[in-house]
Amino acid sequence: MKRILYAELIKWRDSVVRKPLLLHGARQVGKSYLLEQFGKNEFPTFFRFNFEQMPQLAKIFQADLVPKRIIRELSLVAGKTIIPEKHLLIFDEIQECPKALTSLKYFNEEMPELALCCAGSLLGVKLSSESFPVGKVNLLHLYPMTFEEFLQALGKDQLVESLKSANIPEIVHDMLWEHLMEYFITGGLPQVVKEYIPLRDTPVEARYNTRKLQQDLLASYYKDFAKHAGATNSMHIVAVLENLPMQLVRNLDGSVKRYIFKDVIPGKKSFADLQGPIDWLEQAGLIIKVKVCNRAELPLESFCKPNMFKLFMFDVGLLGCMLNLPVNEDYGITKGYFAENFVAQELMSAGNQKLYSWIERNSQIEFLQNRDDKIIPLEVKAGIRTQAKSLQQYIQKYSPNDAIILSKKNIASKKDSVVKYFPLYMAGSLAKIIVKV
- pLDDT (tens digit per residue) in 102-149: 999 999 999 999 999 999 886 666 555 566 788 999 999 999 999 999
Q: For residue 174, name the pLDDT band (cuts at 50, 70, 90).
A: very high
Residue 76 predicted with pLDDT over 80:
yes
Cβ 386 vs Cβ 405: under 8 Å: yes
Residues contacting residue 97 through CB under 8 Å, at least 6 positions apart: 51, 55, 57, 58, 61, 91
Whether 39 is covered by a domain: the verdict is yes
Distances (CA, A) of 158 to 9, 162, 183, 380, 391: 24, 7, 17, 26, 33
Predicted local confidence at residue 332, as pLDDT? 52
Between 375 and 416, the more confident residue is 375
Strand partners, 422: 406
> In sequence order, which ranges of 308-358 are alpha helices (DSSP H)?
316-322, 335-349
Predicted local confidence at residue 240, as pLDDT? 95
Predicted local confidence at residue 224, as pLDDT? 83
Three-state SS at 268: strand
Whether 255 is covered by a domain: the verdict is yes
Of 114, 141, 168, which one is at a domain's C-terminal end? 141
- Tell me which amino acid residue 12 is: W
Predicted local confidence at residue 229, as pLDDT? 73
Read off the pLDDT of residues 183-240 as tens digits, 9 standing for 90 and up: 999 999 999 999 999 999 999 999 999 999 999 999 999 988 887 777 668 899 999 9
181 shares a domain with 63: no
Cβ 21 vs Cβ 117: under 8 Å: yes
420 shares a domain with 306: yes
Predicted local confidence at residue 333, as pLDDT? 47
Residue 21 CA to residue 54 CA, distance in Å, equals: 21
Of 98, 118, 141, which one is at a domain's C-terminal end? 141
250 shares a domain with 397: yes
How confident is the model over 346-355, as a mean pLDDT? 93
User: Following CA atoms 35, 37, 41, 43 in sequence, which dihedral angle do they give, to the nearest 10 degrees?
Assistant: 30
Strand partners, 379: 405
* Least trusted range by pLDDT, from 62-71, 246-255, 364-373, 395-404: 246-255
Number of helices (H), then strands (E), belonging to the chain: the values are 16, 13
Three-state SS at 174: helix
49 shares a domain with 108: yes
Report the residue count for the chain: 437
166 shares a domain with 272: yes
Predicted structure pTM score: 0.93
Residue 9 predicted with pLDDT over 50:
yes
Strand partners, 420: 404, 413
172 shares a domain with 120: no
212 shares a domain with 171: yes
Residue 166 CA to residue 436 CA, distance in Å, equals: 6
Q: What percent of the chain has pLDDT over 70?
A: 93
Residue 77 CA to residue 81 CA, distance in Å, equals: 10
User: Containing domain of residue 399, as a range?
Assistant: 147-436
Predicted local confidence at residue 148, as pLDDT? 97
Predicted local confidence at residue 25, as pLDDT? 92
125 shares a domain with 191: no
Read off the pLDDT of residues 265-280 as tens digits, 9 standing for 90 and up: 988 989 999 999 999 9
Residue 393 CA to residue 397 CA, distance in Å, equals: 6
Of 116, 141, 166, which one is at a domain's C-terminal end? 141
Residue 48 CA to residue 51 CA, distance in Å, equals: 10
99 shares a domain with 78: yes
Three-state SS at 204: helix
414 shares a domain with 307: yes
Q: For residue 336, name the pLDDT band (cuts at 50, 70, 90).
A: confident
433, with CB counted inside 10 A (0-12, 13-18, 19+), is middle
Considering the chain, what is the average pLDDT of its residues? 91
- Phi, psi for 94 (deg, rounded to 5): -65, -20
Q: For residue 388, name the pLDDT band (cuts at 50, 70, 90).
A: confident
Whether 415 is covered by a domain: the verdict is yes
Residue 372 predicted with pLDDT over 90:
no
* Least trusted range by pLDDT, from 53-62, 147-156, 383-392, 427-436: 427-436
For the chain, what is the domain count? 2
CATH of the domain at 41: 3.40.50.300
Whether 337 is covered by a domain: the verdict is yes
Residue 399 predicted with pLDDT over 50:
yes
Q: For residue 248, name the pLDDT band (cuts at 50, 70, 90).
A: confident
- Tell me which amino acid residue 434 is: I
- The 10 Å Cβ neighbour count of residue 422 is 24
Strands in 419-423's sheet, in edge-to-edge order, are 304-313, 287-293, 355-360, 363-371, 374-380, 403-407, 419-423, 412-413
Cβ 82 vs Cβ 40: under 8 Å: no
378 shares a domain with 258: yes
Residue 436 predicted with pLDDT over 60:
no
Predicted local confidence at residue 335, as pLDDT? 73
Residue 252 predicted with pLDDT over 90:
no
Read off the pLDDT of residues 404-433 as tens digits, 9 standing for 90 and up: 999 999 999 888 899 999 999 999 998 776
Whether 211 is covered by a domain: the verdict is yes
Whether the ω angle into residue 299 lies within 30 degrees of 0, i.e. cis, is yes
Whether 169 is covered by a domain: the verdict is yes
Cβ 411 vs Cβ 423: under 8 Å: yes
Residue 170 CA to residue 174 CA, distance in Å, equals: 6
User: Among 36, 42, 48, 35, which Cα is nearest to 14's?
Assistant: 42
225 shares a domain with 127: no
Whether 1 is covered by a domain: the verdict is no
Predicted local confidence at residue 383, as pLDDT? 83
Distances (CA, A) of 91 to 156, 274, 404: 33, 34, 42
Whether 317 is covered by a domain: the verdict is yes
How confident is the model over 23-50, as a mean pLDDT? 96
